Amino acid sequence: MAATLCAAAPLSSVRSRAPCHSAAAAVPRHPARPAAWARPAVQRQQRGTAASARRMRVQAAAASTAAEIQELDKEFGIDGCVEVVAGLGGLPTVRLTHACGSSTEVSLFGGCITSWKQASGDEVLYLRPDALQILQSDNPKSKPISGGIPHCFPQFGPGAMQQHGFARNVDWSIATTSADPQPDDRDPEVTLLLEDSEYSRAMWPHKFKVAYSVALHGELLRVDMRVLNTDDKPFEFTMALHTYIEVADVEDAAVRGLKGLEYLDKTVDPANPARKTEEREEVTFSGPTDSVYLKARDHVELDVGTGAAVAITSNHLNDVVVWSPWTAMPDFYKHFVCVENAQFSSPVALAPGEFWRSQCEWAVRDL
């Protein structure tokens, strides 16, 4: 389809040591001592100066980010529904709040949904502790956010470029925000935009635009993704929404809706996965799992082991990936399962001016 992208349709500072001139002046009075005697003090001084300079850079960046957040909120905020805040790592984040009390947060870094809470305040998504540690560091954007719903685009998994592509470790921009005009039940929404850059073209030499809309409909979380080829030549891509869902215990979790499907079992050898057929009504976990279910149904459910399940409905996303690292991540593997909606087995091919669109919806239901 030749078209332009459109809006989604409903569906402390550290004190450094000053240069110690007196210590330096004292060295000639002790000629028997080697010159190296003074080095530890000099090295401490250099480290202190470097730490102070680094802290000043961090403070300056934080001040700049705070000003950016304020300006973005002024431009795109909607009272009671949409606000731009300092999210995890102090990064610019769009927070959507529904009248029913549900909420979601989307970081502009990576376009990553980092939180989705029910009206009760219960968090549905999972953020890995190692990701939180990086977000709390002086360089919160040193790695992609591992948790929530990160993007894998324009490549899922390993390949010609870096693992899972580049969309998850670059800044997205806010294109629009809105709220359904119904006064009693407004659905807040934000659309983020990602465009090609010198950085992206060094890995993937194509011009493109991605529009990604995130919305709340009551307690439901909805996303709508459009990819437009703005180049003068065709390209292909694969993608996934790498969704981390919190569970009570991975050994009590189960995925339903996959029986009868062919899948690639990447657990033993990701480069040469075994092709199998799923015979289980429920996919449970007793070891590491890395399975790509091909031509999957548009609805699957993850029983999280609390008497509730996360129901996932998708459109134009042909594959489902189920992943648990098991004891490869010993400190926290018990607390999450990834159920990822993907377009992997058949890459999307777009001619110049064509676009591709997909949608996904998550809902919590009682069992």
Residues assigned a catalytic role: 242, 340
| Region at 66 (left for phi over 0; alpha for psi -120 to 50; beta for the rest) | alpha
Tokens 């040591």, located at residue: 17
Output DSSP code: residue 165.
B
From residue 344, alpha-carbon distances to 237, 263, 296 in Å are 8, 12, 11
In the Cβ-directed half-sphere of 57, how many Cα atoms lie within 13 Å?
8
DSSP states of 87-131? -GGG-EEEEEE-TTS-EEEEETBTTEEEEEE-TT--B-B-B-HHH
Nearest alpha-carbon partner for 74 in 145, 143, 66, 58: 66
Output DSSP code: residue 166.
S
CA dihedral sign, ordered 345, 292, 104, 282: positive
Q: Are 244 and 322 in contact (CB under 8 A)?
A: no
Instruction: For residue 3, count other CB atoms closer than 10 A to its CB.
Output: 11
Element (H, E) at 65: helix 39-76
